[in-house]
Amino acid sequence: MANTFKYLNKLPQNLRSITTTNTNKDAWLSKLFVRKIEPTKESHSRMLSDKEIIYSLQTHNYRPDSKNAYLNNVKNTVDFIKAQDALGKDVELVGSWTVNVGDQDQALHLWRFTGGFEKIDVYNKVLGKSEEFQRLNEEQGKIVRSRHLQYLLAFSYWPQILQRSPKNIYEIRSYALKPGTMIEWGNNWARAINYRKNNDEAFAGFFSQIGRLYNVHHIWCYANLTARKETRESAWRSPGWDECVAYTVPLIREMHCRIMVPTEFSPTQ
């Protein structure tokens, strides 16, 4: 217990008050770290997402000397996919960005598949038979250093994804959670998102299904960096926001953010 209270003395005052008002060790540990989640036979995806829509997030690291060639290749690929009658409007690009602050020489592309994994199977079958798509893919392979693909579900409590204009900046905040904490994360953010709706900055919120697991991505939209600063400071002045942060921070193994700008062919600007 001596080591425990030595640790508590290093905590911020607001977290210290949560713990020291409880004389029972188990009680304050449960409040400080994670609340108890009852066992369930429901999958986490069913409990956190209520839509039969799958999103894919493509992360590409392109060669520093090949940005223009890379973006031209992606645009041609997007146009080719749009022209496939077999896919119709069930496969669509939601957003396309290059990273301005964070991982340099990186681009992210967000696609929506209406119809779940069945539509993704159709997509893979159609493009797998296309020589033109294979040519575009091979061309891209010569100008990128690495590529990563994740399949995601949208959190049901996030606002509906809406296209933005005129041109904005976007922030993607990516979190690697401790295994088994996704429901706890959802419980807290279902409340926390209410503190971030005033300025319409919430663009999208996802959790991973295939790819790197226990990953969460929150995407925010701002007019500029100054607006981002003012919006985030406003959230901290809202009673209850600090408590939501206090409960979610212990669930995180790793986190990082990137500031992104839309490409010229991105549906959302």
The three-state DSSP-derived secondary structure of the chain is CHHHHHHHCCCCHHHHHHHHCCCCHHHHHHHHCCCCCCCCCCCHHHHHCCCCEEEEEEEEEECCCCHHHHHHHHHHHHHHHHCCCCCHHHEEEEEEEEEEECCCCEEEEEEEEECHHHHHHHHHHHHHCCHHHHHHHHHHHCCEEEEEEEEEEECCCCCCCCCCCCCCEEEEEEEEECCCCHHHHHHHHHHHHHHHCCCCCEEEEEEEEECCCCEEEEEEEECCHHHHHHHHHHHHCCCCHHHHHHHHHHHEEEEEEEEEEECCCCCCC
pLDDT at 55 over 80: yes
Q: What is the pLDDT of residue 167?
A: 87
What confidence tier does 219 reach under pLDDT thresholds 50, 70, 90? very high
CA distance 151 to 124: 14
CA distance 45 to 153: 7
**For residue 66, what are the contacts with CB-CB under 8 A and spacing of at least 6?**
143
What confidence tier does 41 reach under pLDDT thresholds 50, 70, 90? low
Ordered by start, the domain boundaries in the chain are: 12-17+41-48+155-262, 53-154
pTM: 0.82
* Residue range 240-260, pLDDT digits in tens: 788 888 899 999 999 999 999
Closest listed residue to residue 92, CA positions, set 148, 157, 161: 161
Domains 12-17+41-48+155-262 and 53-154 share a fold: yes
What confidence tier does 44 reach under pLDDT thresholds 50, 70, 90? low
Least confident of 3-12, 45-54, 154-163, 203-212: 3-12
* Residue range 99-142, pLDDT digits in tens: 999 999 999 999 999 999 999 999 999 999 999 999 999 999 99
CATH number of the domain located at residue range(s) 12-17+41-48+155-262 in this protein: 3.30.70.100
**What backbone phi and psi angles, to 5 degrees, belong to 233?**
-65, -35
Q: What is the pLDDT of residue 33?
A: 40
Q: What is the pLDDT of residue 5?
A: 38
What confidence tier does 145 reach under pLDDT thresholds 50, 70, 90? very high
What confidence tier does 45 reach under pLDDT thresholds 50, 70, 90? low
Pick the CATH number of 53-154 from 3.40.50.1820, 3.40.50.2300, 3.60.15.10, 3.30.70.100: 3.30.70.100
Q: What is the pLDDT of residue 43?
A: 54
The tokens for 208 are 């991973």
What confidence tier does 47 reach under pLDDT thresholds 50, 70, 90? low
Q: Are 204 and 154 in contact (CB under 8 A)?
A: yes
